[in-house]
Amino acid sequence: MNNDEFTLDVGLALDLKMAFKRNGYSTEEIKELCKGDFLGRVRDVKLGRAMITSALHEVDLDADPFCPGGLFATGKGTEHRRGGKLILTPGKIKLYLAEGQKNGGWLKGHQLRKELADKPVLNANVLDYLLAHQELIPDECRGKYIPFWGTIYRDADGDLCVRYLRWGGDRWVSDCYWLGRDFSGGNPAAVLAS
C-alpha cells in the first residue's frame, strides 16, 4: 500500500487502540509517538532498515568510588574491591545473609566484613549506578537496608563504614552504617549472582 491509498477507518483505529492498550501505553505516550519522525523510525525497524537494541547498563567496578561528604575511600582499613566491567541485567544482583544474620540474629559489622571476605560483594560503584538508574533496583530490596560491602570507607574520625541503599518513601537513597553497629536480617549484602 502506498501513502496515497492510506485511510484510517474505524476498524484500523480500533486495531491501533487495542494494540496500545495491550502493550500498556498511556495517552501521553501515544501523543509522544505522534511527534516528529518517531513513527518513521519505527517503520524503518519494521522494514529492516534499523534495529532496536536494549540499553546496556555497564558499571566500571575499577573506577575510584564516589565519596559522599566526610567519607574517604583511602587510608587504614578502607577497601575498594575492583572487578572490571559489570553488565547489570535482571537477576545479576542477589541479596545475601550470613548465617549469624538469619532467624532474628545479628552480627557486628567488623565480624560480618570478615565473613563476607570470600563472597562476591558488590562495591559502591554499583550502588551509585543504581541510584542513577532506579528502575534496575530489584523489588526484593524494598523494606531493607542493603550494604555494598565491596567498598569500605572511613570518616574524618577514622571510623570505618559501609554505604547502603534503602527506599526513602518516594525514591531510593543512600547513607552509611558504621562497622561497629549491628547488622541484622534486614541488612542483606548486595552480591553478584553466580
Could you tell me the sign of the dihedral formed by the alpha carbons of 160, 104, 146, 70, in that order? negative
Q: What is the DSSP letter of 62?
A: T
pLDDT the model gives residue 5? 72
Quote the CA–CA distance of 71 and 67 in Å, as a whole number.
Answer: 5
Average pLDDT (169-187) is: 96
Lowest mean pLDDT among 52-66, 69-83, 152-166: 52-66
- Residue 161's alpha-carbon distances to 20, 56, 76, 184, in angstroms, are 48, 31, 12, 16
Residue 59: what are its φ and ψ, rounded to 5°?
Answer: -115, 130
**For residue 174, how many other CB atoms are within 10 A of its CB?**
18
pLDDT tens figures, 125-166:
999 999 999 999 988 999 999 999 999 999 999 999 999 999
The band of 4, judged by pLDDT with boundaries at 50, 70 and 90, is low
Quote the CA–CA distance of 190 and 74 in Å, as a whole number.
Answer: 22
Quote the CA–CA distance of 161 and 157 in Å, as a whole number.
Answer: 11
